[in-house]
Amino acid sequence: MKKSFIGKNIWLSKASSGNTKLNALLKTKGINVLNLPLICLSQNDTEQLKKRINSLNDYDWIVLPSPNAVFFLYEALKKSPEVSIEKITARFACLGNKTLIKANTFGIRTEHFSEESNIENLLGTLPLREGHKILYFTSDKSNSRYDINDIINKNGVIMEEVLYINKPNVFSSEEQSLINKKQIDLIIIYSYSAIDALCLNARSLEANVFDTPLMCIGPKTAEYAILKHFKKVKYSTSIEDKDILKACLEHL
């Protein structure tokens, strides 16, 4: 007998989950999808960011080292008709396949790309001349940025950082009520930060989230979930929506 998924409830916790292909794929199986991010990406001064982007020339670069950086840029600009992704004249550079895929999703044309895992390699291979500017998006406040600045300064290039905050989303009473009304059958988790956010909100939810099945994206994320005492953890080795869907259906 063919297994039915109609009426199952899946919590899609990714910050950009509201309009993804995965959302649509889950719904084709009759699954109810709860789109509620576990992570907030924010910056204190969005207006200042817009001014910095407007100051860039067509030979300057915007460097996006992670999918979160791409999503933050998109969210910061989507309500601003005077500064949209399409109107940006600067060139984009992405680090890693996941970042490239996310950039393509939001219509960002990437002109430089590195599969290497370190940002120093990406910056070291950018075609730069003295006086060129780089706008670098990061959530990293550590001193490792000094190594990056050393690379840039040797080329006489101006580098500016955009620091965004990757922080847990503390649920409002309305969000708590929305979750508590549903019997969540599975939570899709994309990052360590999402797991931390789930732990932070655990006491405010009626159901025991540590007993709720998790579908983690990547084995390392799954290892972290187990370390945080989640009991029913599976993972997908692929970031492709169709493969995540298949893994979810097997775990339900």
Q: Average pLDDT per run of 10 along the chain, which is 252 residues long?
A: 84 68 90 85 69 90 89 79 83 90 90 82 83 82 53 69 73 86 91 86 89 92 93 90 92 88
Provide, for the chain, the percentages of residues in helix, strand and coil under a 3-state DSSP scheme, each rounded to the nearest 5. Answer: 40, 20, 35
Classify residue 227 as exposed, middle or buried by CB count within 10 Å of its CB (0-12, 13-18, 19+).
Answer: exposed
What letter represents residue 155's amino acid?
N
- Total count of domains within the chain: 2
Angle at 77 between CA 75 and CA 80, to 5 degrees: 130
- The pLDDT, as a whole number, for residue 199 is 92
Last residue of a domain, one of 166, 183, 198: 166
- The pLDDT, as a whole number, for residue 239 is 80
Tokens matching residue 108: 């960002």
- The pLDDT, as a whole number, for residue 249 is 92
Last residue of a domain, one of 166, 195, 213: 166
Helical H segments across 96-236, by residue range: 97-105, 119-124, 145-154, 173-181, 192-201, 219-227
Q: CATH number, domain at 136? A: 3.40.50.10090
Determine the 3-state secondary structure of 223 from DSSP: helix
Last residue of a domain, one of 166, 181, 215: 166
Q: Does residue 4 belong to any structural domain of this protein?
A: no
Q: Confirm whether pTM is higher than 0.75.
A: no
